[in-house]
């Protein structure tokens, strides 16, 4: 039951580590590799389906990466929540109400 909260929280905690490492590195071509790897599904969509160039948003170096990274992390954490919520529903389906209880509600 709690996995739908723990996994997204761990993903966000990992994102903080990735961002702190990125913000302390030199702004060169390889500084953002962990950002792209950590948000791989979004990077794939942006690069191949939308034909964009990483980090896909205009702006200065760190601001553009922040505008890409944090919404991507939020979207992927939300996706993880829904995935684990669905898995929870599959693993533990709700017990059916008996007819007497259903009539009262």
Total residue count of the chain as it appears in this document: 105
The answer to whether position 98 is within a domain reads no
Amino acid 38: pLDDT: 95
Confidence grade of residue 31 (pLDDT, cut at 50, 70, 90): confident
The 3-state DSSP class for residue 14 equals helix
**pLDDT tens readout for residues 43-102:** 888 888 777 777 788 888 888 899 999 999 999 999 999 999 999 999 888 777 665 565
The 3-state DSSP class for residue 52 equals coil
**pLDDT tens readout for residues 4-30:** 999 999 999 999 999 999 999 888 778
The answer to whether position 66 is within a domain reads yes
Count: domains in the chain = 1
47 burial (CB, 10 Å; 0-12 / 13-18 / 19+) is middle
The 3-state DSSP class for residue 98 equals coil
Tell me which residue range forms the domain holding 69.
Answer: 3-93
The answer to whether position 28 is within a domain reads yes
Global confidence as pTM: 0.81
The answer to whether position 51 is within a domain reads yes
């Amino acid at each position: 039951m709690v996995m739908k909260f723990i996994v997204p929280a761990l993903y966000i905690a990992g994102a903080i580590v990735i961002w702190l490492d990125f913000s302390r590195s030199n702004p060169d071509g390889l500084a953002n590799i962990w950002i792209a790897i950590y948000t791989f599904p979004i990077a794939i969509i942006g690069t191949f389906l939308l034909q964009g160039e990483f980090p896909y948003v205009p702006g200065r170096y760190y601001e553009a990466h922040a505008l890409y990274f944090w919404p991507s992390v939020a979207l992927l954490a939300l996706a993880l929540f829904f995935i684990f919520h669905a898995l929870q529903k599959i693993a533990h389906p709700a017990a059916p109400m008996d007819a007497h209880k259903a009539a009262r509600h």
